[in-house]
Amino acid sequence: MGSHTITSRTPGVFYHRPSPDADPYVTEGASVSEGDTVGLVEVMKTFHEVKADAAGTVSRFLVENEDEVTIGQELVELET
């Protein structure tokens, strides 16, 4: 098995869930397909979906919910 890291395409605040009282998009150990939403990055009240760019299993999140992120920052590690 290999690994793949999903990175942020925009700077902003990373969110694991679509709203504060909703379930997270994915959790550690979950399987994802290419194109699945794994989180959101909010910049200036605009939300951008973070999508898996490979299929695999979420091994860990590299940032916490509501962490500030930068362009290219690693967000989610997948086992492929």
For the entire predicted model, the pTM comes to 0.93
Phi/psi-derived region of residue 25, left when phi > 0, alpha when psi is between -120 and 50, beta in every other case: alpha
Domains in the chain, number = 1
State the pLDDT confidence band at 56, using cuts at 50, 70 and 90: very high
Is pLDDT above 90 for 1?
no
CB count in 10 Å sphere of residue 54 = 15
Q: How high is the pLDDT of residue 21?
A: 94
Q: Which domain holds residue 39?
A: 3-79
Q: How high is the pLDDT of residue 65?
A: 97
For 5-45, how does the pLDDT look when each residue is reduced to its tens digit (9 = 90+)?
999 999 999 999 999 999 999 999 999 999 999 999 999 99
